[in-house]
Amino acid sequence: MAYSIARETLGLTQPGQIDTPEISFAAKEIDLVEWKGDMLAVGVTEKDMAKNENLKFKNSTLLKLDSELGGLLSEASSEEDFTGKAGQSTVLRLPGLDSKRIGLIGLGSITSATASYRSLGEAVGEAAKTANSSKIAIALASSEGLSAESKLATASTIATGVVLGTYEDNRFKSEPKKSTLKSVDILGLGTGPEIEKKLKYAEDVCSGIIFGKELVNAPANVLTPRILAGEAMRIASEYSDVFTATILDVEQCIQLKMGSYLGVAAASANPPHFIHLCYKPPGGAVKTKLALVGKGLTFDSGGYNIKTGPFCSIELMKFDMGGSAAVLGAAKSLGQIKPAGVEVHFIVAACENMISGTGMRPGDIVTASNGKTIEVNNTDAEGRLTLADALVYACNQGVEKIVDLATLTGACVVALGPSIAGIFTPSDDLAKEVLAASEVTGEKLWRMPMEESYWESMKSGVADMVNTGGRQGGAINAALFLKQFVDENVQWMHIDMAGPVWNDKNKSATGFGVATLVEWVLNISSQFQFQFQRCC
């Protein structure tokens, strides 16, 4: 079809510039009562809040603080029934310390250190934002039992929480509120180059997460496939020492026989853009090649199988490019970190799934770039059609491992709920690698089965396959479909992130996936560096 000019100005909406503050992090060893600033926040467990028969804190850190305050801390915690449970917090403006405010943030029993310490950072960041604080400090009431390695990880996780807790996407608000936070001291978790390196790493990852959030939050009348491609190009320009960018237009995609992808894009006035970023390390040999593939539907109407009904969430279908946001967010972070030994391909088949006389119809047959034919029995199962050609393209780059991310099925949300992503892979080794990375980042993944017998429901009478089976096992069927477009000698994983891409309570994107992808790539890079050190 003849595409019209991309209409990113529909509704005359233009995003404002986010005044994201440059927060300076520093690790210090200083007595809490001597610290000077706007707010001192202390993370406490339920055990830390225990008191003796005289209603004095048993914890030495809290006891000392309370003594400086003449017992007001213990009195306030009793009056507010603050027991240190996860989610509890109290911020008091009290005399007696050089800090203007002191906050106690509940950590509960710390069943998951990553989740607890990130929540601590987020709570402190939000409290600092509310109080218009510019300089804050964070400490743990009990840090003595942490190993040196755990202290590094804890400091990094707290810093991540602070940045994300302070951040607010207010680009589309007429009167945005600016954050005043400038300085954060991490107290009692060590000092020196190692912890400073970990804090810098946290900042780099957060920049990718925030970028991913902004992409998902942007409405479809602002973030079209062309604009998404432009954001990818900007990453390549900003980190030109390690990135190159290739953007394929319709004619180039036709030459590559991407009929599955182009079938989805055919109805939209905004033309598709196929995005390929390539990261190459700045020095040293490439030991392995990886690909990160993200679903990039900047809006999904469902096509002729239009989304209808009270739970269709069509108004949220701007987030159907959440997979691409995770991939491009990871690219932004890795451009700053610059891991050695790995070549990484970031691939997004960006388009819209709309309705028009030129659009794909139910019953149409499309042909993917590997020659396989697909009978489209549901135009609202479009993400897998775009991923099919993206996966073939990724395999053609000579990669050894592929991870794709997509807001693919409602079935996965029904199975795992809103906070857990399902992972599907035939490779036990790849599953272990990615799950290990997610354990570090705190992003929740659950391995799902690849039940081959379910493929019977995906067979077509007139083509090689249909694009969707029955309602039962929908997420598994989708993964089995994607598997048809991956070379057998390539390790591959599909992550269905339809649930955790969006936070209903906050009505905004989560940035899910960025941190785990970055951690996975860095772990692979570290393996090669360790092997090099051993042999040399």
Distance of CA 138 to the CA centre of its chain: 25
Q: Do β-strands 273-279 and 243-248 pair in parallel, antiparallel, or remain unpaired?
A: antiparallel
- Which of 213, 318, 332, 384 is flagged as catalytic? 384
Q: Where are the alpha helices (DSSP H) in 33-81?
A: 60-68, 72-79
**CA dihedral for 413, 416, 420, 425, sign (positive or negative):** negative
The secondary structure of 313-340 as a DSSP string is: -GGGGGGGGHHHHHHHHHHHHHHHH--S
Q: How far apart are CA 165 and CA 187, in angstroms?
A: 19
Burial of 432 (0-12, 13-18, 19+ CB in 10 A): exposed
How many residues can be counted in the chain?
536
Q: How far apart are CA 443 and CA 437, in angstroms?
A: 9
- Which of 307, 338, 372, 447 is flagged as catalytic? 307
Q: How far apart are CA 177 and CA 147, in angstroms?
A: 39
Q: How far apart are CA 374 and CA 486, in angstroms?
A: 15
Q: How far apart are CA 59 and CA 42, in angstroms?
A: 12
- Cβ distance 510 to 405 under 8 Å? no
Distance of CA 46 to the CA centre of its chain: 30
Helix, strand, coil share (%) of the chain residues, nearest 5: 40, 20, 40
Helix axes 193-217, 322-337, angle to 10 degrees: 150
Residue type, 414: V
384 is catalytic: yes
332 is catalytic: no
Catalytic residues, by residue number, are 307, 384
